[in-house]
């Protein structure tokens, strides 16, 4: 971890939160993932994929995959393959919503290989070299002409609001109250969310709560009533409706499939 909660103050900066590498990542099954940071993924062998909406994206040697922040996605993979990632925050906005699939260049692939070579184990290695070579990789990637950037800077107001939502999703005030806390009108806050995340504030909050509900469904035996209470949904029925709409699966089906997948998990 480098800057776990840092956010870039200007559009000219990139903040690196985490760089990771697993030589044999055999378990990449995390349905309903919503990250507060951007993610760059690269696998030097095929075997893992992610689902984003109705789109299936393979992680393979030919391209880099970039997921913007607060995008709901579903990683899947049980084959032991090399897995590299960077969690980061750019001070820029995409002109259109992601994800991005970029053919990897020889220079980018070489940097990834050098970074991975600096790891001596999970979360262990030459931190200085890993950080600076990762920064070089990100600057190469974000400067590519294929990426359509919006000239506007990220809103520091929205950074604070999304951080507040992430920390207090169980008990949040209504959107107009959130806006007042941020010092803007509800209309302005909604426009900010549409510009930066391409969703309404209400939809954004639903994604965060759904992601947390998915973790509890997969990792605990809590009832739907208990999960609704712990994730900010007013009741199990509303949880079921929102969860099914966002993920395409009912909570019961999701829990059954998650537990079945966990039972089939094997050590490499």
Distances (CA, A) of 70 to 74, 99, 124, 180: 13, 11, 27, 22
Q: What is the pLDDT of residue 61?
A: 96
Nearest CA to 119 out of 128, 107, 110, 106 is that of 128
In this structure, the answer to whether residues 166 and 136 fall within a common structural domain is: no
- Token pair in block for residue 54: 């109705």
Q: SS3 of 15, please?
A: strand
In this structure, the answer to whether residues 18 and 141 fall within a common structural domain is: yes
Low-confidence ranges of the chain (pLDDT < 70): 1, 3-11, 261-268
Q: What is the pLDDT of residue 123?
A: 77
Each residue's pLDDT tens digit, 45-87: 999 999 987 789 999 999 999 998 878 888 989 899 999 999 9
In a domain, 233, yes or no: yes
The total number of structural domains in the chain stands at: 2
In a domain, 6, yes or no: no
Of 115, 150, 185, the residue that ends a domain is 150
**Residue linked to tokens 């209504």:** 174
Nearest CA to 99 out of 76, 141, 66, 75 is that of 66
Which residues span the domain enclosing 258? 156-263
How far is 20 from 157, CA to CA, in rounded Å?
30
| CB neighbourhood size of 71 (10 A) | 20
The CATH number for 186's domain is: 1.10.10.60
Q: What is the pLDDT of residue 122?
A: 78
In this structure, the answer to whether residues 128 and 37 fall within a common structural domain is: yes
């Amino acid at each position: 971890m480098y800057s776990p909660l840092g956010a870039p103050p200007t559009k000219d900066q990139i903040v690196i939160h985490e760089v990771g590498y697993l030589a044999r990542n055999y378990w990449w099954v995390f349905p309903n993932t919503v990250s507060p940071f951007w993610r760059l993924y690269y696998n030097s062998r095929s075997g893992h994929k992610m689902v984003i909406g109705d789109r299936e994206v393979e992680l393979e040697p030919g391209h880099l995959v970039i997921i913007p922040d607060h995008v709901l996605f579903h990683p899947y993979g049980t084959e032991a393959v090399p897995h590299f990632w960077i969690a980061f925050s750019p001070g820029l906005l995409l002109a259109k919503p992601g994800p991005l699939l970029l053919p990897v260049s020889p220079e980018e692939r070489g940097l990834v290989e050098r970074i991975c070579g600096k790891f001596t184990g999970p979360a262990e290695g030459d931190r200085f070299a890993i950080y600076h070579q990762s920064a070089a990789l990100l600057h190469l990637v974000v400067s590519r002409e294929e990426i359509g950037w919006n000239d506007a800077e990220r809103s520091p107001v929205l950074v604070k609001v999304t951080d507040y939502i992430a920390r207090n999703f169980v008990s949040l005030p209504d959107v107009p109250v959130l806006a007042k806390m941020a010092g803007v009108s509800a209309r302005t806050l909604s426009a900010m969310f549409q510009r930066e995340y391409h969703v309404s504030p209400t939809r954004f909050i639903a994604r965060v709560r759904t992601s947390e509900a998915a973790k509890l469904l997969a990792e605990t035996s809590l009832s739907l009533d208990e999960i609704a209470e712990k994730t900010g949904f007013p009741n199990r029925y509303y949880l079921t409706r929102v969860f099914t709409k966002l993920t395409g699966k009912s909570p019961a089906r999701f829990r059954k499939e998650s537990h079945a997948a966990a039972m089939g998990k094997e050590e490499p």
